[in-house]
A and B are shown apart, each in its own frame.
Chain A
């Protein structure tokens, strides 16, 4: 059931400037389809850099990223766009776009040079609206929506790209509690129903521990540890990594609640 969707081999990530700044190196990862994987770690550990590198938006410093066995760098931008979609924290400048139009932009890697939508495309947009339960919002202008509605729309847009892998950078930031729960549960459900791999990073430790299939813990040292939430709690890793002067992260409590 679980197919390896994305693999990282001996990956080094960082920034290309005159001197390459390495954020982390020697990373070996596997990401599985149909699963919700969450990347957690303290601020400044390089989570965003890792996500951007895995999505192909940023170049690797060394090593390989393989998507379904094919190195990312061998794929053209449009090929990549049909496989990987992203949801970012970036707000884009407002314009007169309706929710439907925003979602339809997700179909662009499949449309012709002009961007015309076929009936199939429209059907997919409808389908995605349904999946995210936002049909009622279809005609509304994007920037009139609440934060939660906007986030769902952006996820819908990424879904409309029919990706093998969706990468989300802090999808629960700025959302209220009910919305945070709703988004994470929805993502898990989508992973199951669409069979795509979902990778997100979040600071919502408690929620993520309960929802994710796989956790990647990235420490400030650049050390990355993968495992199921249970494994990582029982081993005490989470408690150690997220220790504060006021006490350690009550990870064991989560085990009891599960």
Chain B
């Protein structure tokens, strides 16, 4: 059938694009390293220049893996939130999980160097690892709060609560900024730009399992997500428990969004734009197809954004969030215009 040939071609194309993006991310960087050398290094055969080996194995490889994981995680979480809340502009951060993560990061970045510097240092809250730890703790706290409520309240209430948590956190962070040195404020600002480059191998050891777990949970929620397309009442008549399904979806999305925020900062747009891209390319809302497509496309977009942020050919880097916004916004606009009945596709 025409449709299945097209679909096959699509999947092949997406996978090829991902592979290409990943390979490019290893080749492109501040230093030009030939493809042959890259392959040799990956195969464990060393390189003609030892510095290249360090660059590939300790800098580019973990960074590309972080991008891969983050892109998938954000796209999948975004898709889940869009289905659960029936909102085409829902992003993975809608529950306020990342606000919790931001607060954790702010506490570490803005306070170390201020009061409690030695105390926090002794607890191990230093540098990128420390930020990640605090960030994850913050995310966890908010998540605990959200899930306690998720069983009691209506879905819409969760949405409102998420927004409120976001405002609260912003206010707290502003207070922290008031008492911080300019050096620290700049560091926090830098954190909000998002980056994959701060993730080293020890951090990946935590980041990767968290994302994989989140994705597994998302896969387990595919059936419920499809049911939710018909609405909660029909979902119940099909034997799904909406409360439990919601809990698993929220757990999965929180884990994914929280992990990415903790290790890479706030990265926007991928979570909103990629699900639309996936659904649009596949011409389907079936989560059995949309989820893997989100994973693949999300990774590709993240890798692409990271490469562009490195301003190939010149020195210096751009904030990652600016690049994802530049990539993501046109996609959203295109999707909206192309699908003239977006309102139909997602009536509230």
Contacts and interface: CB of A to CB of B under 8 A. Distances in A.
B283 to A, nearest CB: 6
A97 B345 CA distance: 10
Interface stretch (A15-23, A109-117, A207-215, A226-234): A109-117
A244 interface: no
Contact of B284 (A85, A93, A96, A161): A96
Contact of A143 (B234, B283, B344): B344
A76 B236 CA distance: 11
A97 B234 contact: no
B230 interface: yes
A93 B347 contact: yes
Contacts of A254: none
Nearest to A79: B239
Nearest to B230: A92
Interface string B227-270: 10111011011111100000000000000000000000000000
A115 B222 contact: yes
Interface in A49-106: 55, 57, 76-82, 84-86, 88, 90, 92-98, 101-102, 105-106
B295 to A, nearest CB: 15
B279 interface: yes
Contacts of B237: 55, 57, 81, 84-86
Interface residues of B, number: 31
Contacts of A114: 219, 222-223, 288
Given A77-B239, A115-B288, A95 B233 contact: no
A108 interface: yes
Contacts of B279: 96
Contacts of A93: 86, 229, 231, 346-348
Contacts of A95: 229, 285, 345-346
A57 B234 CA distance: 9
Pick the 4 closest A-B CB pairs, nearest first: A81-B239, A78-B239, A95-B285, A92-B231
A80 B347 contact: no
Contacts of A78: 239
B229 A86 contact: no
A17 to B, nearest CB: 15
B137 interface: no
A80 B348 CA distance: 29
Given A77-B241, A96-B279, A108 B227 contact: yes
B234 A90 contact: yes
Contacts of A57: 233, 236-237
Contact of A101 (B220, B222, B284): B284
Interface string B263-291: 00000000000000001000111101000
Contacts of B231: 90, 92-93
Interface string B106-128: 00000000000000000000000
A224 B296 CA distance: 58
B236 A97 contact: no
A108 B286 contact: no
Interface in B91-146: none
30 contacts: A57-B236, A57-B237, A77-B240, A78-B239, A81-B237, A81-B238, A84-B237, A92-B229, A92-B230, A92-B231, A92-B234, A93-B231, A93-B348, A94-B341, A94-B346, A94-B347, A96-B283, A101-B286, A105-B229, A105-B230, A106-B238, A108-B223, A108-B226, A108-B239, A113-B223, A114-B219, A114-B288, A115-B222, A115-B288, A116-B288
A201 to B, nearest CB: 16
Contacts of A81: 237-239
A89 to B, nearest CB: 10
B227 A94 contact: no
Nearest to A158: B237
B287 to A, nearest CB: 8
A240 B288 CA distance: 54
Given A93-B231, A105-B229, 12 more contacts: A82-B239, A84-B237, A86-B234, A90-B234, A93-B86, A95-B346, A96-B285, A97-B285, A113-B220, A113-B223, A115-B226, A115-B288
Contacts of A88: 233-234
A98 B229 CA distance: 12
A90 B233 contact: yes
A79 to B, nearest CB: 8
A86 B344 CA distance: 24
A111 B348 CA distance: 29
In the complex, which of the residues A88, A98, A108 has the most CB atoms of chain B within 10 Å of its own CB atom? A108
Nearest to A97: B285
Contacts of A80: 239
Nearest to B348: A93
Contacts of B286: 97, 101
A105 B288 CA distance: 12
A39 to B, nearest CB: 18
B256 to A, nearest CB: 19
A199 B44 CA distance: 70
A115 B226 CA distance: 9
Nearest to B282: A96
